[in-house]
Amino acid sequence: MTDVPTGGAASRAQDPPGPARAHALALDPAALRPFLRDPDWLDAARDAVAADPAALPRRFALAGRRAGRGPLHPVADPSGVVHGTADDAARAALVVALATVATGEITTSAIAAPELAALLTTLYDEGDTAERRGVLRGLDALAVRGTLPEPLVTAGIPLAEDALRANDTSLVAAGAGPFGGRHLDAHTWRHAVLKLVFLGVPLDAVAHLAERADAELARMARDLAAERRAAGRDVPPDLARLLGGLPAGAVPPAGTSTTTNSPAPRTTKE
Amino acid sequence: MRILDPHIHMTSRTTDDYEAMYAAGVRAVVEPAFWLGQPRTSAASFTDYFDSLVGWERFRAAQFGIRHHAAIALNPKEANDPRCRDVLAEIPRYLLKDGVVAVGEVGYDSMTPAEDEVFAAQLAMARDADLPVLVHTPHRDKLAGTRRTLDVVRESGLPPERVLVDHLNETTVALVHDAGMWAGFSVYPDTKMDERRTVALLREYGTARMIVNSAADWGRSDPLKTARTGREMLAAGFTDDDVDQVLWRNPAAFYGQSGNLVLDPVPGFVAGAPPAPGVEFEGSSVLRGVRA
């Protein structure tokens, strides 16, 4: 069931362009600095974590106070749910500081992959909402950077699944980032997308949307639109993105043959 | 009237309460950890509760424009249950979390040796974490309990300005006031204090280091008692500035000692705006969809 693109480079090229996102800034210390309340703190924290992984939990807890909690895109995304916040990027940068990439595999400067996986799991389990987002954004950054070693994928999937069960919109959105987009199974990922529509979170929060949206997701979106119309409620505008951009009513039920000009259902990689 | 309710148990309240509180001027709250009415049977039950205080409840409050903070502790009643005491080992990591502005509620319930030990241990945690402390005073034998409380606090070496002693009344306020600590009054429909008696004590003792809370919880209580006390102050001739000091600046100064209090408005929150799920890039919309 898992839908894991191989060859990180091809997927990287399809990451949405445009506004800086927490996971992208985590990989680019110079670009991140202007977003931080105290950039020198992050530099020192990054060094401390690379020298001793045991320094991470305390730095993780303090990131909001030292790096700031503001949205990376205050006008478009005042809550930071879609594009992330300064502390999201700072925490993700700390995760990145523990891992370096060589020849497409993560090797570690400070810690081996199984230990990194265990540490991220503990950070998530013992973390508050922002720290949990930080773990997921860190996994996003590593996933965007290259193919993840198996222990990180195995550890990260249940964390993303946990985030998707939450009702806090920022956590759900973080579960649908590049890591989730690459490693969640199709059923879980489709439900994540639909849940974001329910929560009113713009689908810009979803990584790999164009690549992974399939006929089943379109059917789910169409059913939701029908349910909303039947109830006399508004149809969320983002649903159109799951229907190939056509008005919801223009798409026939899944599985029926059609001669209309409805878009060809996208296929999955399964 | 802007209000920081420095002691309220929002996990026991409804969204109607949050809306009414915002309308009455409440912009921030502190929720101390307490007894749930039903005894807990393990440390894990506490950690789930603490996670909720720093997680879901903060998110829920933000939907209504209210900044939510927490105080974390093992409460005095459950300090007596050996199945619960293991949670003491977990508390230091919670004291590091964003929005945890104090250790609390600590103090006495029945004044047992177990309560002595847990109270002293948590005062030491507050010192180590550089956090102020919210101290509950007992319902039964309150005057003796308050005296013993002040002795234990003095022995801990915590500076008096780092300590808020709560649930005071006419018989206990002088002890706390003279000790240089912050004096807290819980204004209730039936028990503890009412608005009129609280205002009388403000007349007698002044407005410095005096703090008013609703302590609203799952019992008969009223989350608007802070605002009602403010109105009673105005009716009694106190100025708007006096009310602002008691209901906002005093609790902000006390909890501000944590360096972890956030009082700026919730980003994207628009008072009275209907939920607008699915509206892309518009102010509050990303925060206010339906629950999925």
Kindly list the residues from chain B whose CB atom is less than 8 angstroms away from the CB atom of residue A58. 96
- Partners of B68 in the beta sheet? B29
The count of CB pairs under 8 A between chains A and B is 96
Yes or no, beta carbons of A195 and B93 under 8 Å apart = no
> What ipTM was predicted for this assembly?
0.81
Of A26-30, A230-234, B42-46, which one has max mean pLDDT?
A: B42-46
What is the distance, to the nearest Å, from the Cα of residue B246 to the centroid of all Cα atoms in its chain? 14
CA B135 to chain centre: 10
**What pLDDT, in 10s, does the model give residues B211-231?**
999 999 999 999 999 999 999
With CA atoms as reference, the chain B residue closest to A76 would be B281
Q: Which residue in A78, A201, A234 is closest to B267 by CB distance? A: A78
Taking the CA of residue A146 and the nearest CA in chain B, the distance in Å comes to: 30
What share of chain B in percent tops pLDDT 70?
93
Chain B CB contacts of A167 under 8 Å are 56, 59, 291-292
Mean pLDDT (whole number) for A42-61: 93
Q: How confident is the model at residue A18 (pLDDT cuts 50, 70, 90)?
A: low
Name the phi and psi angles at B270, rounded to 5. -120, 115
- Give the H/E segment covering residue B172: none
Q: Which of A64, A79, A236 sits opposite B98 (nearest CB)?
A: A64
pLDDT computed for residue A34 by the predictor = 94
Q: Is A238 on the interface with B (CB under 8 A)?
A: yes
Nearest chain A alpha carbon to B48: A126
- What are the two backbone dihedrals, phi and then psi, of residue B3, each rounded to the nearest 5 degrees? -130, 135
pLDDT value of position B275 = 42
Distance from CA of A153 to the nearest CA of B (A): 25
Band (pLDDT 50/70/90 cuts) for residue B85 is: very high
Residue of chain A with shortest Cα separation from B90: A126
Asked if A128 is an interface residue toward chain B (Cβ–Cβ < 8 A), one would say: yes
Please say if the pLDDT value at position A1 is more than 50.
Answer: no
**pLDDT tier at B277, thresholds 50, 70, 90:** very low
pLDDT band (50, 70, 90) for residue A173 = very high
For residue A194, name the pLDDT band (cuts at 50, 70, 90).
very high
- Please check whether residue B260 is in contact with residue A65, taking contact to mean a CB–CB distance below 8 angstroms: yes
- Number of helices (H) and strands (E), helices first, in chain B? 11, 8
Tell me which chain A residues have a C-beta less than 8 angstroms from the C-beta of B72: none
Do A130 and B98 lie within an 8 Å CB cutoff? Answer: yes
B-proximal residues of A, 97-126, CB under 8 Å: 126
Largest separation between any pair of C-alpha atoms in chain B: 59
pLDDT tens digits, one per residue of A79-98: 899 999 999 999 999 999 98
Which of A61, A70, A82 shows the shortest C-beta gap to B96?
A61
Residue A26 in contact with residue A96, Cβ under 8 Å?
Answer: yes
pTM value? 0.82
CB contact under 8 A, B98 and A234: no
Residue of A nearest to B287 (CA): A169
Tokens of A198: 């329910």
